[in-house]
Amino acid sequence: MKLSWLSAVLLGAATTANAIDTIKAVGSKFFYSNGTQFFIKGVAYQLTEHDPLVDAAQCKRDAALMSTLGANAIRVYHVDAKQDHSSCMSEFENAGIYPLIDLDTFDTYILPNDPWWNQTQYDRYAAVMDAFAHYNNTLGFFVGNEIIAIANQSMAAPFIKSAARDMKAYRDSKGYRQIPIGYSAADIAELRPMLQDYLTCGGNASENVDFFALNSYEWCDPSTYATSGYANLQKDADNFPVPIFFSETGCNQPGPRLFDDQAAIFGPEMVNDWSGSIIYEWIEEANHYGLISYGPSVAATATGSNVVGGFTRAGTPMPVSPDFNNLKTAWAKASPTGVASSKYNPSSVSTRTCPSSTSGGWLVNGNVALPTLGETYSGTYTTAPSATGTGTAGSAATTTSTKNPAPANKEIAGMSAGLVGVMLFFTFWL
């Protein structure tokens, strides 16, 4: 039926009025458009290597159970920009859930040992942004995940920053809202403090990430804030200039998972500086990190349209006991109020100093000139023309971070101890 002009206007107005609040980053906080501070309670959501945001029926089933869990966000590692995501995004919006989307694809990832940032990467990242920028519940974009995992890979950091710079400029040139753009880092004690400082230093906001996220599995129950290593994470996050949160967490050793760390993240020890956490992961698979299953495991050699690696990847989600309910209880107890945007002064946060290189550790010396589009790492960097953030090295962490216990891979497996080689990048599903 063809709508009259007036009916169409009224329908559009009603749709706008009922739309979910957008999220923005201001200083070190996330805020809803109504001024209330936003804290992430999320889950990693990648059912197979394929885009999970194209099956509306599956999204509806999963979003409904996520809502009972208390989740308000998901992280999606791999999407196909050419697909239609409107139905799934609508299902998650109806459930009050905000997706965080990785911009890179399997063949556009910034390589740690031979980094470059070229037009192909730019175009593919931009295409993903185009596909999701118009949804009100898009929370943010990652320009990379665990690119740097060992000391000699820290020379890739300027390329991460270049990707953030160019994607922010692209976002603004397209007139999109200020959707935050950031990076998800591996928890490497020898590099973490310097990397998070480097990605937010130099005094040029257009080149810095809008948020910094960390994949950390330091807290393995039973543990405490002091003994887990979280106290050191908090020390490095104190008065951080952009939102910082856990983009993967939830150690399952020895199990079952109690999620006691959530009380610290959302409690007085960390809540003033951290913006929440994303639990790894939604679906049960061989690593046994799943919060739900779609049925009993099958033979590893079994085949089927929704069977991969011995696990069914679609259907009715069923909570994994007791982990699902343990997280639900932990989140129900965590109710931070935060601060209203009208009472928050973003200039109160500290400006980070660009770290100097350290022997056998961080290799980028100060505020270097960022690579231009099309540039490949040549072995050296020059100092930026206006090195307002050059200074001494950041302080080293006092504990050694635990290696992530799942298979070493970046996007689908998550929890990588780093890319050991390019082949690991493609082998998760073997």
Cα–Cα distance, 429 to 48 (Å, whole number): 8
pLDDT in tens, 64-94: 999 999 999 999 999 999 999 999 999 999 9
Active site (annotated) includes residue 248: yes
- The confidence score (pLDDT) of residue 408 equals 35
**Is residue 5 over pLDDT 50?**
no
Residue 18's pLDDT band, with cuts at 50, 70 and 90, is low
Cα–Cα distance, 93 to 154 (Å, whole number): 37
User: In percent, how much of the chain has pLDDT > 90?
Assistant: 75
pLDDT in tens, 385-399: 654 444 433 333 333
Average pLDDT of the residues in 287-301: 88
Average pLDDT of the residues in 119-138: 98
Cα–Cα distance, 108 to 81 (Å, whole number): 13
- The confidence score (pLDDT) of residue 388 equals 47
Active site (annotated) includes residue 411: no
pLDDT in tens, 171-204: 999 999 999 999 999 999 999 999 999 999 999 9
Alpha-helical segments (H) within 278-428: 323-333
Stretch among 127-136, 299-308, 335-344 having the lowest mean pLDDT: 299-308
- The confidence score (pLDDT) of residue 90 equals 98
**429: amino acid identity, one letter:** W
Average pLDDT of the residues in 41-49: 95
In sequence order, the β-bridge partners of residue 402 are: none
- The confidence score (pLDDT) of residue 386 equals 57
Phi, psi of 300 (to 5 degrees): -60, -25
Tokens 């206006």 belong to residue: 386
Among 93, 207, 218, 248, which one carries the catalytic annotation?
A: 248
Nearest to 289 by CA among 320, 334, 246: 320
pLDDT in tens, 206-248: 999 999 999 999 999 999 999 999 999 999 999 999 999 999 9
268 C-beta neighbours (distance < 10 Å), count: 9
DSSP helix/strand/coil, 112: coil
The per-residue pLDDT of the chain, averaged, comes to: 87
Residue 106's pLDDT band, with cuts at 50, 70 and 90, is confident
Question: Could you tell me the pTM of the whole model?
Answer: 0.88
**Is residue 326 over pLDDT 50?**
yes
User: In percent, how much of the chain has pLDDT > 70?
Assistant: 85
- The confidence score (pLDDT) of residue 14 equals 38
Q: What is the 3-state secondary structure (H, E, C) of 335-353?
A: CCCCCCHHHCCHHHCCCEC
**376: amino acid identity, one letter:** T
**Is residue 21 over pLDDT 60?**
yes
**Most confident residue range from 7-11, 113-117, 345-349, 410-414:** 113-117
Longest dimension (CA), the chain: 71
- The confidence score (pLDDT) of residue 102 equals 98
Domains of the chain, start order: 21-426 (3.20.20.80)
- The confidence score (pLDDT) of residue 413 equals 37
Cα–Cα distance, 397 to 411 (Å, whole number): 26
Q: Is 299 exposed, middle or buried (0-12, 13-18, 19+ CB in 10 A)?
A: exposed
pLDDT in tens, 340-374: 999 999 988 888 999 999 887 899 999 999 999 99
Residue 424's pLDDT band, with cuts at 50, 70 and 90, is very low
Among 93, 146, 207, 284, which one carries the catalytic annotation?
A: 146
